[in-house]
Structure 1
Amino acid sequence: MLTTALRLYGKNDLRLEQFELPEIKDDEILASVITDSICFSTWKEVNQGADHKKVPNDIATNPIIVGHEFSGNIVQVGKAWQHKFKVGSKYIIQANLQLPSLACPGYSFPYIGGESTYVVIPKEVLMQDCLLAYNGDSYFEASMIEPLSCVIGAFNANYHLVEGTYNHKMGIKEGGNLIILGGMGPMGMLAIDLALHGPIKPKRLIVTGRSDERVEYCKKHYPAENGVDVFYVNVSDVDDHKHYLMDLVNNEGYDDIFIFVPDKELVNLSSNILATDGCVNFFAGPQDSKFEASINFYDIHYAFTHYVGTSGGNTQDMREGIALIEDKKIQVNKIITHVLGLDSAAYVTINQPQIAGGKKLIYSQKRLPLIDLGKLLSEPAPDTFQQQLKEILVKSGGLWSKEAENYILDHAPNI
């Protein structure tokens, strides 16, 4: 089977190439890739090359395929897995295999990654139960389940003491004060959605950012509901962050704090606004292995505050994400701001920090320029193809949709 894939050879050395995949073994599966969502972690991977802890040292001669938020259809099943997987069914991958080697799809393997047309799913994925069935309506929603699972994992990793004991009750505090620092990017918005529609809900949700435009976007798409009071704060306009944020919760402090930007000042701020038995989750992944920040150890001793960190989700988190998507409780189309084809993926992956907006969604079988959905809606379309896409977007209030996806799959040229 011929595949076209974006392969990493070294730091910022991505090459779109066509090559023959090997015949699958009895313990492998051949699959198509329909969509892949570009993760900021992939930018870090590409930026670091072989220095990245999940990337093999020999990629200069044995390149790997990038991309780990992908979905598609099963094409061929090896004999060892025909009892469990069927040709034609949709799938998603839990990329965090949790192997001792740290190997992961999109980081470590030569024949599997989301920025490709076809992949060989290796035995490592299958043995770890990380190939999951998906029965949702669209492929783009499936590509958002991996990032959603990371947020679910973070919410599940927080904990609080059972009163009068040293036992831990896992998860965010029900009816508590929850704040997401730097939470107006795509991952932060998934966290907002989960706080509003997940199984455990806070009493108050506060989200900070540094853009009036993002504040207004979040207010529009994530209003207060389900008994949760919501406050969006542009901290660029605030002189004293600590006192302002404490005033929003009547000086009760915050039971759960999620840090979505690797910033030392945010770590220090979180330490100073924690409630008794409060939990800080350092969600953001810094590139600097020496990243350090000051926290209040007096409160750790006397106020029982605690700190956790999560990197990715696990298979159970993924299953929870699948249920939330299939049951229409979480609307991941709110975080998609750009679509593109595989031919544009190298440029967008490398330049992701300079491209504003939310999630960039690749249609891996297609040739398509980067399309900014907001710009398309506000400006004249450059051609008939994009004009028809624009008309579809208008019908869905400017949000990506299954109809828009079907239009891309039916009318965009193949790579």
Structure 2
Amino acid sequence: MKTKAVRMAGKNQLLFGEVELPKIREDEILVRVVSDSLCMSTYKAVQQGSEHSKVPNNVAQMPVMLGHEFCGEILEVGAKWKGRYQAGQKFAMQPNIDSLAAPGYSYPYCGGNSQYAILPPEAMENNCLLHYEQDAYFYGSLAEPMSCIIGAYHTNFHTVKGEYKHILGTKKGGNLALLASVGPMGLGAIDYALHCENAPKLLVVTDINEERLARAASIYTVEAAQKLGIALHYVNTAKPGMTEYMMQLSGGKGYDDILIFAPVEDVIQQASDIIGVDGCMNFFAGPIDHAFSAKINFYKVHYNRIHICGNSGGNADDMQEALDMAAARRINPASMVTHVGGLDSVVDTILHLPEIPGGKKLEYNTISMPMTAIADFGKLGETDPMFRRLAEICEAHNGLWSREAEEYLLSHAKPI
């Protein structure tokens, strides 16, 4: 069968067109992909080509399908998996199959930026093909970035002085700082911090952009956090004296947990300055520069038992937690999405991803549509009735994407 897909053939070499899919083997599964959210990790892979650890050396001869945050429907099940999966079931994909291979990076016929894909046997063998029950497909796509965030919270750890054991997870009822964290992943981190089992008592969110801070504060309000027993503060660290101010907010104690969302030396320095005794710093941001480094106070590491960690991606359990929390309406990852487009918008969007402001870029594989900011729907709606209705739907959901918006778009947008 044929499918339209976006593939990578090398550094900044992206191809959009039809691909002939082979017939599936008995240990594979054929799926229809409905939605995929575009990730900065894909941009980084495109910048590196075959130098990326998960991109094959022969990518020029055998291009790989891009996209790893995808959700859709199972169409055909190989004989090996017929007792476990059925045609017609919805699925969400956990792409971290292993350290060397992943959908969206490594396979010629498996990626989220394609209308159809063939899942390799290792995806099922490693429990990476997850059953999905919600109505809206985009929540399944956003479960993958949420799983990375959840993985970060689970990666942090603390100790008991004099005892040689680690207590995993962020400190319940502690002081938590999310630095440079009002981008798409930072918004997801705020949502999880407010609604997870180990919720803090103090949550400080920083950035240097007042507009982005204001948007975050309009979605996750100080008042709503207060009702949960959490003191939430948004801090613009572009202003002078903010490190001292954050220490004052912590009562001089510092922070038990810090998650860093930007590979910026000054941000890491600030984390080192405000970390408390037995505090844990998680460097969540993924730099492209292999030699990236920053100054950390190792006197405090030694005498205050400071921990430094990092994580890239989540596992199947993290993703299942994301799916369960979204289904229970405990979190709403829609806050991460600021742009929506069709499959034919993917190439240009990926190549220019760092230049496009806002949060997550969500694409649907059955439609043709430029990558469009939700904030622009109203203006476009002055001449286009589809965008006028989308603007009304999003406005009714506090400016956020929703199940209703997805259903309307898929039934009214131009088919690709």
| Match in the other structure for 1:343 | 344
Q: Does structure 1 conserve the Cα–Cα contact (< 8 Å) formed by 2:378 and 2:387?
A: no
RMSD (CA atoms): 1.2
Give how far 1:395 is off: 2.8
Alignment of 1:158 onto 2:159: no
Provide the secondary structure at the position in 1 that maps to 2:192: helix
Alignment of 1:173 onto 2:171: yes
| Match in the other structure for 1:218 | 216
Opposite residue 10 of structure 1, the aligned amino acid is: G
| Match in the other structure for 1:205 | 203
Provide the secondary structure at the position in 2 that maps to 1:62: coil
Opposite residue 25 of structure 2, the aligned amino acid is: K
Residues 94/278 of structure 1: CA separation in 2 closer, same or farther (3 Å cut): same
Opposite residue 314 of structure 1, the aligned amino acid is: N
Q: CA separation in 1, counterparts of 2:398 and 2:318?
A: 30
Q: Does structure 2 conserve the Cα–Cα contact (< 8 Å) formed by 1:136 and 1:325?
A: no
Give how far 1:164 is off: 4.4
Residues 381/46 of structure 1: CA separation in 2 closer, same or farther (3 Å cut): farther
Provide the secondary structure at the position in 2 that maps to 1:16: strand
Q: Does structure 1 conserve the Cα–Cα contact (< 8 Å) formed by 2:2 and 2:21?
A: yes
Q: CA separation in 2, counterparts of 1:401 and 1:78?
A: 34
Give how far 1:382 is off: 3.8
Match of 1:120 among 118, 121, 128: 118
Aligned counterparts, 1:190-269, within 5 A: 190-224=188-222, 225=225, 226-236=228-238, 238-269=239-270
Opposite residue 106 of structure 1, the aligned amino acid is: G
Provide the secondary structure at the position in 2 that maps to 1:301: helix
Q: Does structure 2 conserve the Cα–Cα contact (< 8 Å) formed by 1:381 and 1:390?
A: no
CA-to-aligned-CA distance 1:55-90 (integer Å, 9 cap, x gap): 111111110011100000000000000001011111
Match of 1:106 among 104, 107, 116: 104
Q: CA separation in 2, counterparts of 1:265 and 1:214?
A: 19
Aligned counterparts, 1:12-411, within 5 A: 12-99=12-99, 102-224=100-222, 225=225, 226-236=228-238, 238-377=239-378, 380-411=381-412
Give how far 1:163 is off: 5.0
Q: Does structure 2 conserve the Cα–Cα contact (< 8 Å) formed by 1:73 and 1:90?
A: yes
Give how far 1:116 is off: 0.5
CA-to-aligned-CA distance 1:264-301 (integer Å, 9 cap, x gap): 22112211211000000000001111111121221121
| Match in the other structure for 1:9 | 9
Opposite residue 390 of structure 2, the aligned amino acid is: L
Q: CA separation in 1, counterparts of 2:81 and 2:138?
A: 26
Q: CA separation in 1, counterparts of 2:162 and 2:47?
A: 48
Structure 2 residues without counterparts, runs of 5 or longer: none
CA-to-aligned-CA distance 1:339-384 (integer Å, 9 cap, x gap): 0000111001111111111111000121112221112235653422
Q: Does structure 1 conserve the Cα–Cα contact (< 8 Å) formed by 2:172 and 2:197?
A: no
Q: Which runs of 4+ in 1 moved over 4 A?
A: none
Q: CA separation in 2, counterparts of 1:232 and 1:393?
A: 25
Q: CA separation in 2, counterparts of 1:51 and 1:338?
A: 30
Q: CA separation in 1, counterparts of 2:288 and 2:164?
A: 34
Residues 382/41 of structure 1: CA separation in 2 closer, same or farther (3 Å cut): farther
Q: CA separation in 2, counterparts of 1:302 and 1:168?
A: 17
TM-score (norm 2): 0.97
CA-to-aligned-CA distance 1:220-244 (integer Å, 9 cap, x gap): 11123211110111111x2133212
TM-score (norm 1): 0.97
Opposite residue 235 of structure 1, the aligned amino acid is: T
Q: CA separation in 2, counterparts of 1:353 and 1:372?
A: 15
Opposite residue 67 of structure 1, the aligned amino acid is: G
Identity percentage over the alignment?
A: 44
Opposite residue 165 of structure 1, the aligned amino acid is: E
Q: Does structure 2 conserve the Cα–Cα contact (< 8 Å) formed by 1:38 and 1:361?
A: yes
Q: CA separation in 2, counterparts of 1:381 and 1:115?
A: 31
Q: CA separation in 1, counterparts of 2:242 and 2:320?
A: 37
Q: CA separation in 2, counterparts of 1:388 and 1:144?
A: 24
Q: CA separation in 2, counterparts of 1:44 and 1:94?
A: 19
Q: CA separation in 1, counterparts of 2:302 and 2:170?
A: 21
Q: CA separation in 2, counterparts of 1:105 and 1:82?
A: 22
Give how far 1:142 is off: 0.7
Give how far 1:213 is off: 1.1
Provide the secondary structure at the position in 2 that maps to 1:97: coil
Q: CA separation in 2, counterparts of 1:140 and 1:333?
A: 8
Q: CA separation in 1, counterparts of 2:195 and 2:277?
A: 26
